[in-house]
């Protein structure tokens, strides 16, 4: 019945049917169909098709559609509220977690900085005693001895140093009739040396001990000191002259054993 | 009951802008009136595109739910009528595409027998220039079944443009807005759609 048509003519005829043409275009179409039998036939076919589709009965929406739409809207509303509530809850919980994480992070940072600060301070900060110009030993003193048998005493002390294997810990200086034994060693080692010195203690005419004290530069002088007293003095911390209070902390055995002490023994005398 | 309400709602002829504003404020009476005002026209177009009563009812429901949900986003650049039909047609065409993929196309006229009388009447109408107004044939339901099946044989895009023009009576400019296509595309698409529809019907009436 129908044949392939010129698309432009087809569009023109359809627009004519639908009233979408200008007045001039309508005139052209009317002229076309009056002169072209095929175009006229095609126009009628298209009109029939359009009329047929347009005559389809109008369907009415189902009776309960309104109720269903309202119910559906209610469900959506409840669902949205539930989602909103859930999202809100999640946001609040999330905010709490975030705050907790921030606090923990800050605490961790502070802790880390404190630890690092401590480590750095330990590494770079000078020792309190060093800052004060005091040797970093638990005990520092000078023992001045006078004798008439300098050669004999000197020989004895040197032997005692060798016997106690303290040669590496002693610096010996001789100034005429004076011998200076600068000893830096452990307390026990010094005690052993002092125990040996006790054997010749009667050969000394005088014995005076100068003990370094706090604050730096101050000294405590003990005249006529005995070996036992020296041994006792080197086991206690330096006396503090700023407060006038004797140190009451009793050193532990481990502290006594480990700490280094310094004693310069100055022997002056004649042959 | 509802049919009566529809008539009343349409007769009230409340301006869409007023209704929309009240809907935005969540006024349930306004929402109800808006639905009643447009539900038949939207349902009819959807039904003619998808050709299934249950699907059409569900799609109409979905359309109105979406309209109410999105009404705050309606900017008034087009008329509400155009905007609402755009939502309805898009939902329906998307559904049709899914149905084709799922093999759920509801009509298959290939093997169906129609009465000789219906075929003859339709053939006469299409060919006989002296045939009277098609309204005289409206009582023959079978004839419209054939037409419905022929429409379903068209491409979705062609079917939509024919229905919007010949059933809903939209002009070309509004069809272009609803389908979001150029005016020239409406012209060419409608021309091809009518031509194809006629060929399909002629083939069915052989």
Q: Map out the domains of chain A as residue ranges.
A: 7-54, 66-125, 131-243+252-269
Best mutation target among B126, B129, B144, B163 (most A Cβ atoms within 10 Å) is B126
A-chain residues near B31 (CB < 8 A): 70, 73
Chain B residue at shortest CA distance from A48: B126
Put simply, the answer to whether B2 touches A63 (Cβ < 8 Å) is yes
Q: Which residues contact B40 (CB under 8 A, 6 or more apart)?
A: A58, A59, A60, A61, B6
Say yes or no: domain B1-106 is CATH 2.70.170.10: no
Does A60 sit behind a cis peptide bond, omega within 30 degrees of 0 on the bond before it?
no
CATH 1.10.1740.10 in chain B, residue ranges: 1-106
Contact B178, B170 (CB under 8 A): yes
Put simply, the answer to whether A54 touches B202 (Cβ < 8 Å) is no
Phi, psi of A184 (to 5 degrees): -130, 110
pLDDT digits (tens, 9 = 90+) for A220-243: 888 898 888 888 888 776 666 665
Element (H, E) at B193: helix B183-204
Contact A166, A189 (CB under 8 A): yes
Best mutation target among A11, A43, A44, A66 (most B Cβ atoms within 10 Å) is A66
Over chain B, what is the mean pLDDT?
Answer: 84
Residue A129 has pLDDT above 60, yes or no: no
A-chain residues near B182 (CB < 8 A): none
pLDDT digits (tens, 9 = 90+) for B164-206: 999 999 999 999 999 999 999 999 999 999 999 999 999 988 8
A-chain residues near B147 (CB < 8 A): 52-53, 56
Closest CA of chain A from B167, distance in Å: 5
CATH 1.10.10.10 in chain B, residue ranges: 107-206
- Residue whose token pair is 């909103």: A84
Q: Which of the listed ranges A128-132, A245-249, B147-151 does the model predict with the highest average pLDDT?
A: B147-151
A-chain residues near B64 (CB < 8 A): 69
Put simply, the answer to whether B171 touches A20 (Cβ < 8 Å) is yes
Nearest to A7 among B43, B138, B191 (CB): B191
B40, two tokens: 């038949």
Predicted confidence band of residue A46 (pLDDT cuts 50, 70, 90): very high
Predicted confidence band of residue A180 (pLDDT cuts 50, 70, 90): very high
B-chain residues near A10 (CB < 8 A): 191-192, 195
Give the integer Cα–Cα distance in Å for A139 and A142. 10
Say yes or no: domain B107-206 is CATH 1.10.10.10: yes
- Ordered alpha helix ranges (H), chain A: 7-17, 23-35, 37-54, 65-124, 128-131, 150-163, 187-197, 227-233, 253-258
Contact A64, A21 (CB under 8 A): no
Q: In what order do the strands lie in the sheet with A178-186?
A: A170-175, A178-186, A260-269, A139-147, A204-212, A219-223
Is ipTM > 0.90 here?
A: no
Give the integer Cα–Cα distance in Å for B71 and B67. 6
- B107: nearest Cα among B172, B39, B53, B153: B153
Predicted confidence band of residue B114 (pLDDT cuts 50, 70, 90): low
Does the CB of A77 have a partner CB in chain B at under 8 Å? no
- B144: nearest Cα among B22, B6, B48: B48
Put simply, the answer to whether B2 touches A49 (Cβ < 8 Å) is no
């Amino acid at each position: 019945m129908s044949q392939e048509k010129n698309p432009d003519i087809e569009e023109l005829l359809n627009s004519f049917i639908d009233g979408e043409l200008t007045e001039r275009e309508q005139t052209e179409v009317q002229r076309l169909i009056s002169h072209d039998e095929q175009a006229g036939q095609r126009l009628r076919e298209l009109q029939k098709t359009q009329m047929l589709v347009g005559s389809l009965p109008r369907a009415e929406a189902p009776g309960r559609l309104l109720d269903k739409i309202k119910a559906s809207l209610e469900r959506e509303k409840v669902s949205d509220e539930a989602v909103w509530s859930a999202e809100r809850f999640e946001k609040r919980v999330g905010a709490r977690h975030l705050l907790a994480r921030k606090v923990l992070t800050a605490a961790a940072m502070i802790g880390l900085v404190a630890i690092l600060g401590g480590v750095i301070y330990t590494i770079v900060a000078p020792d309190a005693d060093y800052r004060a110009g005091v040797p970093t030993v638990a005990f520092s003193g000078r023992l001045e001895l006078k004798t008439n048998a300098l050669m004999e005493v000197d020989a004895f002390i040197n032997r005692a140093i060798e016997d106690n294997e303290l040669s590496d810990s002693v610096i010996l200086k001789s100034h005429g009739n004076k011998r200076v034994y600068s000893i830096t060693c452990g307390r026990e080692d010094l005690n052993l040396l002092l125990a040996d010195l006790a054997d010749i203690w009667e050969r000394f005419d005088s014995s005076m001990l100068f003990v370094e004290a706090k604050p730096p530069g101050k000294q405590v002088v003990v005249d006529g000191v005995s070996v036992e007293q020296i041994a006792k003095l080197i086991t206690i911390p330096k006396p503090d002259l700023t407060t006038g209070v004797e140190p009451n902390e009793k050193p532990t055995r481990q502290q006594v054993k480990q700490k280094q002490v310094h004693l310069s023994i100055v022997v002056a005398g004649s042959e | 009951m509802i049919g009566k309400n529809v008539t009343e709602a349409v007769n009230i002829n409340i301006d869409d802008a007023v209704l929309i504003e009240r809907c935005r404020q969540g006024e349930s009476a306004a929402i109800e009136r808006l639905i009643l005002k447009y539900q038949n026209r939207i349902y009819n177009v959807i039904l003619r595109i998808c050709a299934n009563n249950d699907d059409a009812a569900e799609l109409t429901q979905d359309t109105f739910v979406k309209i109410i949900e999105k009404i705050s986003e309606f900017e008034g650049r087009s008329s509400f009528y155009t905007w609402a039909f755009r939502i309805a047609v898009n939902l329906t065409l998307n559904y049709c595409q899914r149905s084709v993929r799922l093999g759920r196309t509801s009509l298959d006229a290939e093997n169906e027998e129609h009465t000789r009388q219906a075929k003859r009447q339709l053939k006469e109408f299409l060919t006989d220039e002296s045939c009277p107004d098609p309204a005289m044939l409206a009582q023959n339901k079978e004839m419209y079944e054939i037409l419905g099946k022929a429409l379903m044989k068209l491409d979705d895009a062609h079917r939509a443009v024919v229905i919007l023009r010949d059933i809903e009576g939209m002009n070309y400019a509004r069809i272009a807005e609803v389908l979001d296509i150029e005016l020239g595309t409406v012209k060419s698409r409608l021309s091809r759609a009518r031509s194809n529809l006629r060929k399909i019907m002629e083939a069915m009436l052989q």
